[in-house]
Structure 1
Amino acid sequence: MAGTAAAYQAEEGGPLDVDRAFYDRVSADAGRELVDSFTVPVRSGRAWEVPAGHLCRLVTVDGPQVGDLNVWNRHDPRERLWASRTRQLQRAHVSVHDRLWSTLPFLRPLLTVTGDTLASYGRDAEGGRVHDLLGTRCDPYVNRMLTGEDFDFHCHSNLVRAVLPYGLTEFDVHDVLNVFQCTGLNEDDQYFMKDCPARPGDHFEFFAELDLLCALSTCPGGDLSVPMWGPGSDVDPVEFCHPIGVEIHRVDPGLLTGWAPPERAAYRGLHGIARPDWRS
């Protein structure tokens, strides 16, 4: 049926046609150099830079853990991840060769996924898939609304604290990629979350198309095996929380021959607004 085809498509060789062989070569680079690594502790957040042309790997260090990821252009934070457009251009749950796209008026790939040890998870019997763009970060405002209590270590708050050293604020925190998170829509078209299927050593890796600022929160729900709201949420899931490791790798410069950071969107119109004639 025509109605089931993807709405956003491009011709072969167009902007949605990824050079898979290039990203496979970069990902397989045995000579890559580890230039930085650190661990994001449980129920916390951290921000870091990834230079264009480098790889960044997120690792479940010692157990299943959901991570909420924000991404900006390091040199202009007005350009940042556009989750809803990425869902349309790519898919609602991303994996290898998918890209995360930036907001208007930039509209270009911020990163391309190059590695995913959970790619084989696919779609489970309940419709769950991994690495979620359907939902967004947990936050203290919704928590207060649903429970009447304040909690300062939801993903939104963790991200707010993480970006402060870079001069960013709560207004810069945006819809996330929920890395390692398994989600879907139930029979009533409602968002659901499932236990995280990641195990120690699983990873999600991406190639930075631009100089990036990234921030990650280790979700206070941990592996999401305990409900955060509603029946069963009276149990604190802290024992199901684990850190997430971050690695940044420099690849062999020879592998980047022919690659260049993507240009911003070509549209240069005025949205139908007449250009003033200053000569009159």
Structure 2
Amino acid sequence: MTDTPPAAYQSRPGSILDVDRPFYDRLADTTGREVLESFVLPIRSGRAWEVPAGHVCRISTPEGPQVGDLNVWNRHNPRERLWAARTRQLQSAHVTRYDRLWSTLPYLRPLLTFVADTLESYGVDAEGGRVHDLLGTRCDPYVNRILADTDFDFHCHSNLVRAVLPYGLTEFDVHDVLNVFQCTGLNADDQYFMKASPARAGDFVEFFAEQDLLCALSTCPAGDLSIPLWGPDARDPLEVCRPLEVEVCRPAAELTASWEPTRPAAYAGLHGVTLPRWS
């Protein structure tokens, strides 16, 4: 068996990729937290909410396994949003504690950092599955038409579209997602596979907002993915759909006293373009 090649993206010591783990460990301590917002997201629905910079957000499975599709934007500039592909390269195709979600160019900075994950110990299963997936993206009514030749209005893409409308965003702002609590991998033919979510009632992920965020979440219409949504064995997975819960908390003030929001990447060039000179 050959050795696994090293990651292509290697950081220099002291770069923004060097996470201050003790700092984020302290943020995972719930002592002194103040809950500012809490809501339950019903099955096959979507909702958007704000997470101020320096706050912690928890997404949990109150009644058992359920996949959620997450979008993230800079609250003040929706052109800056989650860049799933670069996050896969800078972090990994599945994320957990200490990993970050990175934003699009020309900003390229952390949107958030994960501080807790009760499924962290799941690791890699016998089939190569891992949890919290950036490999795939949201289900949508367009691919559903291709695969099933039917219309359905409660795919994750549509749930997210409805969720962001009150914030002045549209379908064009919905982007590739983090599939929270979803277990996925690549099979021997390099094809994407999905497995039943290993989450149980009370499992959660928590992240720290590195800047003012707008988040949107869909409770996937495939529920915990234990029933195929497409293919020869497909049937409506309504029976395995469950709600998700969201909490936004302010950590104890002393924990973030010396913290500052992340800044955009420092590149200040013009991509080789020269400006006209007036004589």
Residues 160-171 of structure 1 correspond to what in structure 2 (within 5 A)? 160-171=161-172
Calculate percent identity across the aligned residue pairs.
Answer: 71
Greater than 3 Å deviation, 4+ residue runs: none
Partner letter of residue 271 of structure 1? H
| 2:125 aligned with 1:124 | yes
Partner letter of residue 192 of structure 1? F
Indicate conservation of the 8 Å contact 2:60/2:244, yes or no.
Answer: yes
Q: After superposition, what is the alpha-carbon deviation per residue over 1:16-54, rounded to whole angstroms, capped at 9, x for unaligned?
A: 100000000111141111111001100000000000000
**2:273 — aligned with what?**
273
Alignment coverage as a number of residue pairs:
278
Indicate conservation of the 8 Å contact 2:31/2:252, yes or no.
Answer: no
Unaligned residue ranges in structure 2 (runs of 5+): none
Indicate conservation of the 8 Å contact 1:34/1:248, yes or no.
Answer: yes
Residues 42-61 of structure 1 correspond to what in structure 2 (within 5 A)? 42-61=43-62
| Secondary structure, aligned partner of 2:39 | strand
| Secondary structure, aligned partner of 1:25 | helix
| 2:75 aligned with 1:74 | yes
**2:158 — aligned with what?**
157
| Secondary structure, aligned partner of 2:158 | helix
| Secondary structure, aligned partner of 1:85 | helix
Between 236-245 and 20-29, report the one with greater CA deviation: 20-29
Between 156-165 and 26-35, report the one with greater CA deviation: 26-35
Q: After superposition, what is the alpha-carbon deviation per residue over 1:188-210, rounded to whole angstroms, capped at 9, x for unaligned?
A: 00000000000000001100000
Distance in 1 (CA, whole Å) between partners of 2:266 and 2:77 is 18
| 2:82 aligned with 1:115 | no
- Kindly report the root-mean-square deviation, in angstroms, between the aligned alpha carbons of the 2 structures: 1.0
Q: After superposition, what is the alpha-carbon deviation per residue over 1:74-130, rounded to whole angstroms, capped at 9, x for unaligned?
A: 000000000000000000000000000000000000000001000000000000000
| 2:230 aligned with 1:229 | yes
**1:21 — aligned with what?**
22
TM-score by length of 1: 0.98
TM-score by length of 2: 0.98
| Secondary structure, aligned partner of 2:27 | helix
Partner letter of residue 53 of structure 1? G
Unaligned residue ranges in structure 1 (runs of 5+): none
